[in-house]
Amino acid sequence: MNKTYDVVVVGAGVIGTSCAYHLVKKGFTVALVEKDDVAKGTSSHCDGVALITDKMPGVDAALGYASINRFKELKEELSYDFELHQRGSLYLCETDEEMEAASKYAKDLAAEGYKVYAMTPEEMLEKEPFLAKDLKGGVFSEECLGINPFKLCFAYVNEVKGKGLDVYAQTEVTGIKLNDKNEVEGVETTKGVITTKRVVNACGVWAPEVGKMVGLDIPIIPRKGVILVSSATFPICKQKVHEFGYMVSKFGLDVKRPEELEKYGVSFTIEPSAGNNVLVGSSRNFAGYGTHAEIEVINTIAKRACRFFPILKEINCVRSYAGVRPFVEEHLPLITQVDEVPGYYIAAGHEGDGISMSPVTGQLISELIAGEETCRDVAPFSFNRYKKEA
Lowest mean pLDDT among 11-25, 34-48, 199-213, 344-358: 34-48
Task: Tell me which amino acid residue 336 is.
Answer: T
Cα distances (angstroms) measured from residue 219 to each of 3, 74, 176, 313, 359: 32, 31, 19, 41, 23
Cis check for the bond before 358: say yes or no (omega within 30 of 0): no
**Other C-beta atoms within 10 Å of 182: how many?**
14
d(CA 368, CA 383) in angstroms, rounded, equals 14
Read off the pTM. 0.95
Domain residue extents for the chain: 3-45+150-219+330-386, 89-142+221-327
Q: What pLDDT score does 390 carry? A: 37
- Secondary structure of residue 277 in the 3-state scheme: coil
Backbone angles phi, psi at 146, to 5 degrees: -115, 145
Segment 164-189, tens digit of pLDDT? 999 999 999 999 999 999 999 999 99
Contacts of residue 372, Cβ cutoff 8 Å, sequence gap at least 6: none
CATH second-level architecture of 3-45+150-219+330-386? 3-Layer(bba) Sandwich (3.50)
CATH superfamily of 89-142+221-327: D-Amino Acid Oxidase, subunit A, domain 2 (3.30.9.10)
Q: What is the pLDDT of residues 71-126, one digit of tens each?
A: 999 999 999 999 999 989 999 999 999 999 999 999 999 999 999 999 999 999 99
Farthest CA pair distance, the chain: 67
Position 257, amino acid: R
pLDDT at 1 over 80: no
pLDDT tens across 125-165, in order?
A: 999 999 999 999 999 999 999 999 999 999 999 999 999 99
Centre a 10 Å sphere on the Cβ of residue 136 and count the other Cβ atoms it contains. Answer: 18
Q: Which residues make Cβ contacts (< 8 Å) with residue 168, sequence separation at least 6?
A: 1, 31, 32, 33, 34, 189, 191
Domains 3-45+150-219+330-386 and 89-142+221-327 are alike in CATH topology:
no
